[in-house]
């Protein structure tokens, strides 16, 4: 349509920001410098040839036809043909070069942003919602592809066209150039106003398209509730409100473009009218030739089209700038948890020791952990229990260095985790999250997430280690079964099995488990339990527990309440103490008893 | 298209597609019937605009010949041209406005039609339909149609413009007209071919972009796994592959663009070269005036856009046609569950307790081959509360769905207060049944609107009474804006138990005869289950209630247990009796217990 981009006021860049961004873009695009020069050369050629056509026609008319010189006429025809061929050939090359440059740039940008995103620590992912990060990598980068495919090219050629056109016109006749430019101020002012209004209208449309889609989706996904309560008419009435408001915003934006395009069309004709009137007067006085007036009439569009194009591109360029600004913010983010320059490998085994650790999430009012100390000996099983949000998961995460504590230290075998090399850390301490999270691909691919260099034999051994060989052998494609999106092909229990096999593949000394709160399908529940038991055997285990049975199997239980360890001991010891733990255990029992 | 298709199969397929398409066009015609007048006005404006537009070069020519060459009245000519400019400006604005407004209006109405139709389709349809598919019907397919409709008035004026210009050129100088126009058909052909060729590639680019989005999405959502195992490089490699795929497809698109766009730009210029050469010689030999020659050039430029547009509209029309076929497919699906032609009324109070439910020899399966319920008989007295217990997929929830008439039985009858549910208006039936679904669905709306959903005109006192009964009133008052707090996916996030209680309040606000509680406590923090159960107990008293029990704790709420096994009612009685007498019941209970709580094991 007539507009493809839009930018809200808070995203609009300042002049200084724009300059910085341009500088960084050029730096990133440095590898394609040659291609950029070639593109530029092509734009120069095509612009020149496009503009020289009317000049050649003028020569043909004045020197050839009017002077009765057949040779001059023929020469002009040949020249015209040459110019047209040039326009074509260089036009083709231009597309190739500009598109290749642009897409290469987007590719580099995608890779750079993603790599940097991956380097960030967990805190970064807590701060930035998943949807926003995905949008950066998709919508924001894609918003530039229009610019890359057409915009950049149009921008270059429109600017050059405008400059060249004015030069050519001045060269032909400065008097007529002034006549042609009479309309220009009106056109420029109108374009600026249009650009502003249409940007605003576009943002409204975009927002309402989103709202309307959500309304639509809500209607479809909640159809069972709507029908169960016989509220179809009410739901339709509500949808109509959002749908009609979308229509109203479309209507408004068309209205804005209506007067603008009307004015554009009028200005073009107005300029021709003036050219005939004033230009004709000049011809009568002998100041300019008829051919010049004709050339001017023909060249007027070369003057007006670029202005119009530039005004429409303005928004696209603006929104690309805003997108780049956000992307560079990611590229500039420093990972909080990173490898120390003097990092050492962790020892094969050792005691896990948390000393006086405090930790506050970024943006949180109060600390999640306050001066916590605890020791887990080699092969010992520790269960962390406590109310939601008391800090038990945080403690587990710190013990796997998903975060670094603000004060205090976490040591493994006497080495501070902050000083450990990343690969050795991930080999010694494996984290198995609550839900068995699966990636697109086969079961085998999903295990390789844990160790990219694992052989097929390693993978099979890992599956065997948790006793799930038979289970996955039931699948027709075995370990090559595609798990589909988010593992939807597998049951929750099977996904959990894959997650456990991943940990087995790493063969870590320490296992950090976050027990699932929700329940699994009865069929695989037992298998998961069994796999877990095999996996835990002989390893140090820290488990964030939600079930009594798990807790009872642990050597020690730490009850985390209000960012601190409130109680520590074995199941029976803590029951006897009749404190937080005893209360929790009673609540668990009560909720599951049949009557 | 498969390779092994025989000729007759091909012709049958083509015939079918043809029939589909004509249905699609019929839909469009029907849709545009009410807007016919405005579209015709738009077309007429366009035609008038085109004739003015065509007149301008003609006038310019006269102005040059008469005004400049022959020293005629310049001011007059100048003003005439400017006057024409005013007219074309106004008319082109209106043409644009009418075209866009009408196309958007058609799109708006069709979206509403689609939405109401889909909302009325039976649940069986929704079980199979994918939300994403329906969404793209109502968004991208409608966009294709809108893009086509907007071109209708524009095309009308374009056609007129082409004919008018061609006529003028031929009248002025037939030979030169042929020279000038010879390359132009290729503009049209190229534009059409370009549009057809670029379309699949842009779709391929989008598909690759979606795949890249998937990799990003899973890397971000699964960041704990990625970080936990240090799998950054693995994910990076995946992303690089997707980025390369996008690049490759984008280069294909670029190639197509470079093949067509410069050619489309250059073709008219070839005509202009011809005009200069051939026309120049004809002026020299006195067969043509200079003014005519200049006008020829101008007219040529007037032909370029209309020809390109017509090339585009053919491609747009093809896309709109397939979109229309897909939309027609949805609209032509009829709901399998509809109001009876002659509806009966439910018996009214008359001092008796209402809400008796009876299943009489019911047979039902989601697909006819595999029945879920067979010879299912159940009598629930008015005001009684029963718990339905059964193994996973035994058909517990199906019982409630049949009562709601989400599905019709394959055999047998379901009665509410003695009336076959199929004899009742759907609205009347469903208003008498309050349901709390297993997955608590709340709307992105205020608490008030969520609770009063079943009864939009409910008074505030009714609302609060329902909330109090459901044990929700107190925590609602604690919310940032009390009853006006927006909840749901994009609003204030509530705990599972709070959501549950709002859903219960919603179910009882219209004081239904029957309450169905599809035990959703599975989504609730174990320590909060007690509170939910208390709320349930309150709302159940004195009302027919069917509790679909997914965990043992809920069974205690009901006075009788209906045990479903092997597609029928296997036993009815008190929980303790069944535990004592029925081995299979104990087994199912144990599997529920084992699956849902190993705590119970520990506690016994």
Task: Report how far residue B204's alpha carbon sits from residue B207's, in angstroms, rounded to the nearest whole number.
Answer: 5
Residues of B in contact with A273 (CB under 8 A): 78-82, 85
Of residues B433 and B599, which shows the higher confidence score?
Answer: B433
Beta pairing partners, B433: B514
Maximum mean pLDDT: which of A13-17, A254-258, A581-585, B223-227:
A254-258
What is the reported pLDDT for A8? Answer: 72
Q: pLDDT by residue (tens digit) across B442-501?
A: 888 899 999 998 888 889 999 999 999 888 899 999 888 999 998 876 667 787 778 888
Tell whether the model's pLDDT for residue A91 goes beyond 60: yes
Give which of A276, A396, A533, A593 to mutate to test B binding, by max B Cβ within 10 Å: A276
Give pLDDT, residue A521: 59
Tens digits of residue pLDDT in B151-162: 888 888 888 888
How would you label B508-533 residue by residue, b for 16+ Cβ within 10 Å and e otherwise? bbbebbbbbbbbbbebbbbbbbbbbb
Q: Within 10 Å of residue A4's Cβ, how many Cβ atoms?
A: 16
Residue B523 scores a pLDDT above 80? no
**Higher-pLDDT residue of B11, A561:** A561
Interface test mutation site (partner A, options B216, B244, B335, max chain A beta carbons within 10 A):
B216
| Tokens 């016989």 sit on residue | A230
Rg (C-alpha) for chain B, rounded Å, is: 36
pLDDT above 90 (res A186): no
Q: Which of B220, B283, B598 sits opposite A134 (nearest CB)?
A: B220
Angle, in degrees to the nearest 10, between helices B232-274 and A70-119: 170
Residues of chain B neighbouring A293 (CB-CB closer than 8 A): 64, 68
CATH 3.40.640.10 fits A352-592, yes or no: no
pLDDT exceeds cutoff 80 at B259: yes
**Contact at CB, A280 and B135, closer than 8 angstroms:** no
How confident is the model over A196-245, as pLDDT tens digits? 888 888 889 888 988 898 888 888 888 888 888 888 898 999 999 999 99
Average pLDDT estimate for B506-522: 82
The DSSP H or E segment spanning B132 is helix B131-136
Residues on chain B touching A145 (C-beta within 8 angstroms): 250
Q: What is the pLDDT of residue B156?
A: 84
Structure tokens at A272: 């021709």
Q: Tell the CATH superfamily of the A9-332 domain.
A: ABC transporter type 1, transmembrane domain (1.20.1560.10)
Q: Do B254 and A213 touch (CB under 8 A)?
A: no
Q: Phi and psi (nearest 5°) for A443?
A: -60, -40
| Token couple for B173 | 């100088």
State the smallest CA–CA distance between residue A13 and chain B in angstroms.
27
Mean pLDDT of chain A: 86
Pick the most confident of A125-134, B13-22, B90-99.
B90-99
Q: Which 3 state secondary structure label does DSSP give A289?
A: coil
* Cβ atoms B443, B492 nearer than 8 A: no
- Specify burial of residue A464 (Cβ count, 10 A radius: 0-12, 13-18, 19+): middle
Q: How far apart are CA B45 and CA A23, in angstroms?
A: 49
Q: Tell me: pLDDT of B602 over 70.
A: no
Q: Tell me whether 0.85 is exceeded by the ipTM.
A: no
**Under an 8 A CB cutoff, do A518 and B281 touch?**
no
Of the candidates B409, B339, B347, the one whose C-alpha atom is nearest the C-alpha of residue B373 is B409
Residues of B in contact with A583 (CB under 8 A): none
Tell if the CB–CB gap between B406 and A224 is shorter than 8 Å: yes
Chain-chain contact of A280 with B68 (C-beta, under 8 angstroms): yes
Q: Would the pLDDT of A147 be above 50?
A: yes
pLDDT (0 to 100) of residue A337 = 76
Closest approach of A21 to chain B, Cα-based (Å): 23
- Chain A CB contacts of B527 under 8 Å are 584, 587-588, 591
d(C-alpha B40, C-alpha B536), whole Å: 62
Using a CB-CB distance cutoff of 8 angstroms, which residues of chain A are in contact with residue B97? 254-255, 258
**Nearest by CB: B234 against A251, A452, A485:** A452
* Interface contact B453-A231, CB threshold 8 A: yes
Alpha-carbon distance B325 to B17, whole Å? 9
Which residue is associated with the tokens 């009665």?
A: B415
- Could A592 and B525 be called an inter-chain contact, meaning their C-beta atoms sit closer than 8 Å? no
Distance CA A314, CA A471 (A): 60
Contact criterion met (CB below 8 Å) for B262 and A91: yes
Q: How far apart are CA B46 and CA B91, in angstroms?
A: 7
Give me the percent of chain B exceeding a pLDDT of 70: 94
- Give the three-state DSSP class for B361: strand
A457 min Cα distance to partner chain B (Å): 19
**Residue A315 reports pLDDT greater than 60:** yes
Cβ pairs A/B, distance under 8 A: 449
Instruction: Please state the rounded mean pLDDT for residues B394-412.
Output: 90
Within 8 A of B589 by CB-CB distance, chain A residues are 594
**Residues with Cβ within 8 Å of residue A262, at least 6 apart in sequence:** B89, B90, B92, B93
Query: How many whole angstroms separate alpha carbon B594 and alpha carbon B600?
Result: 8
Interface test mutation site (partner A, options B45, B55, B59, B68, max chain A beta carbons within 10 A) = B68
pLDDT tens profile A232-241: 898 999 999 9
pLDDT for the residue numbered B5: 62
Using 50, 70 and 90 to split pLDDT, how confident is the model at A374?
very high
* Alpha carbons B560 and B386: distance in angstroms, whole number: 5
* Rounded mean pLDDT, B402-419: 93
What's the Rg (C-alpha) of chain A? Answer: 35
User: Which one has a higher pLDDT value, B540 or A374?
Assistant: A374
CB A308 within 8 A of CB A162: no
Q: Could you tell me which chain A residue has the CA closest to the CA of B338?
A: A227
Residues ≥6 apart with Cβ < 8 Å to A469: A460, A463
Cα gap A173→A338, rounded to integer Å: 67
In this structure, are residues A366 and A150 in contact, taking their beta carbons and an 8 Å threshold?
no
Q: Contacts of residue B591 in chain A, CB cutoff 8 Å?
A: 522
pLDDT digits (tens, 9 = 90+) for B551-565: 777 788 888 999 998
Q: What is the DSSP letter of B443?
A: -
Residue numbers in B near A452 (CB within 8 A)? 231, 233-234
What is the SS3 assignment for B72?
coil
Q: B436: helix, coil or strand?
A: strand
In tens, the pLDDT along A511-570 reads: 998 876 555 655 677 788 888 889 988 899 999 887 777 788 889 999 998 889 999 998
Of A130, A258, A517, the CB nearest to B221: A130
Top mean-pLDDT range of A106-115, B481-490, B541-550: A106-115
Contact state of A552 with B258 under an 8 Å Cβ cutoff: no
Q: Which residues of B touch A423 (CB under 8 A)?
A: 230
pLDDT of residue A239: 93
CB contacts, 8 Å: B290 with chain A: 61, 65-66, 290
- In angstroms, the separation between the Cα of residue B256 and the nearest Cα of chain A is 10
Nearest residue of chain A to residue B75 (CA atoms): A277
Of B243, B598, B602, the CB nearest to A111: B243
Which range of A127-136, A489-498, B179-188, B358-367 scores highest in mean pLDDT? It is: B358-367
pLDDT at B420: 94
Closest CA of chain A from B13, distance in Å = 32
B104: nearest CA partner in chain A: A247
Q: Is the dihedral of CA B424, B429, B430, B435 positive or negative?
A: negative
Residue B594 pLDDT exceeds 70: no
**Hey, what are A110's tokens?**
């995608």
The pLDDT tens digits of the residues spanning A54-84 come to 788 888 888 888 888 899 999 999 999 999 9
- Among the listed ranges A96-110, B164-178, B182-196, B299-313, which one has the minimum average pLDDT value? B299-313
Instruction: Please report, rounded to a whole number, the percentage of residues in chain A having pLDDT higher than 70.
Output: 95
Show residues of chain B in contact with A298, CB under 8 Å: 294, 297-298
Q: Chain-wide mean pLDDT for chain B?
A: 85
HEC assignment per residue over A189-255 = HHHHHHHHHHHHHHHHHHHHHHHHHHHHHHHHHCHHHHHHCCCHHHHHHHHHHHHHHHHHHHHHHHH
Domain boundaries, given as residue ranges, for chain A: 9-332, 352-592
Round to whole Å and give the CA distance between A59 and A134.
Answer: 58
Average pLDDT over residues A131-155: 80
Q: Where are the beta strands (DSSP E) in A517-570?
A: 540-544, 556-561, 564-569
Band of residue B103 on the pLDDT scale cut at 50, 70, 90: very high
pLDDT bracket for residue B11 (50, 70, 90):
confident
What is the percent of chain A where pLDDT is above 90?
A: 25
d(CA A535, CA A530): 9
Which candidate, B254, B364, B537, B181, places its Cα nearest to that of A595? B537
Q: What is the pLDDT of residue B1?
A: 40
CA distance B247 to chain A (A): 6
């Amino acid at each position: 349509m007539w507009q493809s981009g839009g930018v809200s006021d808070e995203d609009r860049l300042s002049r200084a920001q724009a300059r910085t961004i341009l500088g960084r873009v050029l730096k990133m695009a440095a590898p394609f410098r040659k291609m950029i020069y070639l593109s530029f050369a092509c734009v120069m050629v095509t612009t020149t040839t496009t503009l020289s056509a009317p000049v050649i026609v003028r020569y043909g008319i004045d020197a050839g036809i009017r002077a009765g010189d057949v040779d001059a006429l023929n020469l002009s025809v040949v020249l015209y043909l040459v110019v047209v061929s040039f326009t074509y050939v260089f036009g083709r090359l231009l597309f190739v070069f500009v598109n290749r440059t642009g897409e290469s740039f987007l590719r580099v940008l995608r890779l750079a942003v993603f790599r940097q995103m991956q380097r960030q620590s967990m805190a970064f992912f807590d701060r930035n919602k998943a949807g926003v990060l995905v949008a950066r990598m998709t919508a924001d980068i894609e918003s530039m592809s229009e610019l890359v495919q057409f915009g950049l090219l149009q921008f270059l050629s429109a600017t050059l066209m405008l400059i060249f056109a004015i030069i050519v016109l001045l060269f032909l006749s400065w008097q007529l150039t002034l006549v042609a430019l009479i309309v220009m101020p009106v056109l420029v002012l109108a374009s600026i106003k249009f650009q502003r209004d249409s940007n605003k209208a576009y943002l409204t449309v975009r927002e309402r398209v989103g709202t309307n889609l959500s309304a639509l989706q809500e209607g479809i996904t909640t159809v069972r509730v709507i029908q169960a309560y016989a509220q179809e008419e009410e739901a339709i009435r509500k949808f109509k409100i959002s749908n009609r408001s979308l229509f109203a915003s479309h209507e408004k934006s068309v209205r804005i473009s209506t007067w603008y395009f009307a004015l554009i069309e009028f200005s073009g004709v107005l300029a021709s009218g003036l050219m005939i009137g004033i230009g004709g007067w000049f011809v009568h006085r002998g100041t300019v030739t008829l051919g010049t007036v004709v050339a001017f009439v023909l060249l007027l569009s070369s003057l007006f089209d670029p202005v119009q194009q530039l005004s429409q591109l303005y928004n696209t360029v603006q929104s690309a700038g805003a997108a780049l600004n956000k992307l560079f913010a990611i590229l500039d983010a420093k990972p909080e948890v990173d490898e120390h320059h003097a990092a050492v490998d962790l020892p094969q085994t050792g005691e896990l020791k948390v000393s006086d650790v405090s930790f506050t999430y970024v943006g949180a009012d109060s600390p999640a952990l306050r001066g916590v100390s605890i020791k887990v000996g080699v092969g010992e099983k520790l269960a962390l229990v406590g109310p939601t949000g008391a800090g038990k998961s945080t403690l587990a995460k710190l013990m796997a260095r998903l975060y670094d504590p603000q004060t205090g230290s976490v040591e493994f075998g006497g080495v501070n985790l902050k000083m450990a090399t990343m690969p050795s850390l991930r080999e010694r301490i494996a984290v198995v999250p609550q839900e068995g999270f699966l990636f697109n691909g086969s079961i085998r691919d999903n295990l390789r997430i844990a160790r990219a260099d694992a052989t097929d034999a390693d993978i099979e051994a890992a599956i065997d280690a948790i006793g799930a060989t038979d289970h996955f052998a039931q699948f027709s494609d075995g370990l090559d079964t595609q798990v589909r999106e988010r593992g939807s092909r597998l049951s929750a229990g099977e996904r959990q099995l894959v997650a456990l096999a991943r940990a087995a593949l790493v063969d870590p000394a320490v296992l950090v488990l976050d027990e699932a709160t929700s329940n699994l399908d009865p069929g695989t529940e037992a298998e998961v339990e069994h796999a877990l038991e095999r996996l835990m055997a002989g390893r140090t285990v820290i488990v964030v527990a939600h079930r009594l049975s798990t807790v009872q199997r642990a050597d020690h239980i730490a009850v985390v309440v209000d960012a601190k360890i409130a109680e520590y001991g074995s199941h029976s010891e803590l029951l006897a103490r009749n404190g937080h733990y005893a209360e929790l255990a009673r609540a668990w029992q009560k909720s599951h008893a049949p009557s | 298209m498969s390779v092994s298709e025989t000729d007759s199969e091909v012709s049958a397929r083509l015939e079918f597609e043809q029939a589909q398409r004509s249905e699609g066009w019929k839909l469009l015609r029907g849709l545009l019937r009410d807007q016919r007048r405005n579209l015709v006005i738009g077309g007429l404006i366009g035609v008038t605009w085109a004739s003015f537009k065509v007149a301008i070069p003609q006038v310019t020519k006269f102005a040059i010949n008469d005004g400049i060459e022959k020293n005629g009245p310049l001011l007059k000519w100048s003003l005439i041209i400017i006057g024409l400019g005013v007219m074309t400006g106004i008319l082109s604005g209106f043409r644009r406005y009418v075209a866009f407004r009408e196309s958007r209006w058609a799109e708006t109405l069709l979206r509403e039609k689609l939405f109401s139709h889909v909302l009325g389709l039976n649940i069986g349809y929704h079980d199979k339909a994918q939300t994403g598919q329906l969404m793209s019907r109502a968004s991208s397919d409608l966009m294709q149609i809108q893009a086509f409709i907007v071109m209708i008035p524009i095309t009308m004026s374009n056609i007129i413009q082409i004919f008018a210009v061609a006529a003028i050129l031929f009248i002025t100088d037939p030979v030169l007209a042929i020279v000038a126009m010879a390359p132009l058909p290729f503009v049209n052909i190229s534009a059409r071919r370009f549009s057809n060729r670029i379309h699949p590639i842009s779709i391929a680019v989008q598909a690759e972009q979606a795949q890249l989005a998937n990799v990003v999405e899973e890397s971000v959502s699964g960041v704990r796994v990625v970080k936990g195992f240090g799998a950054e490089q693995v994910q990076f490699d995946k992303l690089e592959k997707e980025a390369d795929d996008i690049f490759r497809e984008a280069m294909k698109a670029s190639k197509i663009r470079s093949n067509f766009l410069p050619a489309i730009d250059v073709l008219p210029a070839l005509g202009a070269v011809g005009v200069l050469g051939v026309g120049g010689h004809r002026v020299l030999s006195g067969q043509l005036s200079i003014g005519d020659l200049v006008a020829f050039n101008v007219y040529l430029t007037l032909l370029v856009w209309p020809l390109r547009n017509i090339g585009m509209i053919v491609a747009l029309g093809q896309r709109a046609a397939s979109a229309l076929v897909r939309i027609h497919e949805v609209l032509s699906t009829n709901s399998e569950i509809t109001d009876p032609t002659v509806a009966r009324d439910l018996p009214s109070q008359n001092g008796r307790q209402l809400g008796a439910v009876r299943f009489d020899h019911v047979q039902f399966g989601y697909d006819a081959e595999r029945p879920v319920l067979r010879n299912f008989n159940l009598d629930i007295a008015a005001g009684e509360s029963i718990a339905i217990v059964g193994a996973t997929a035994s058909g517990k929830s199906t019982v409630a769905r049949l009562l709601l008439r989400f599905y019709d039985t394959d055999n047998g009858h379901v009665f509410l207060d003695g009336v076959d549910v199929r004899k009742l208006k759907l609205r009347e039936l469903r208003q008498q049944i309050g349901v709390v679904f297993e997955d608590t669905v709340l709307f992105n709306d205020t608490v008030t609107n969520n609770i009063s959903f079943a009864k939009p005109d409910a008074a505030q006192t009714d609302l609060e009474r329902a909330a109090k009964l459901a044990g929700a009133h107190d925590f609602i008052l604690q919310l940032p804006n009390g009853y006006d707090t927006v909840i749901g996916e994009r609003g204030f996030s509530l705990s599972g138990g709070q959501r549950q209680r709002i859903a219960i309040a919603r179910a009882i606000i219209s004081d239904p005869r029957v309450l169905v509680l599809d035990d959703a406590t599975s989504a609730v923090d174990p320590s909060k289950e007690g509170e939910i159960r208390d709320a349930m107990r309150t709302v159940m008293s004195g009302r027919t209630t069917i509790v679909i029990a997914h965990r043992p704790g809920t069974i205690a709420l009901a006075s009788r247990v209906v045990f479903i096994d092997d597609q029928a009612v296997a036993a009815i009685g008190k929980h303790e009796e069944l535990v004592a007498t029925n081995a299979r019941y104990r087994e199912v209970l144990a599997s529920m217990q084992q699956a849902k709580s190993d705590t119970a094991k520990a506690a016994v």
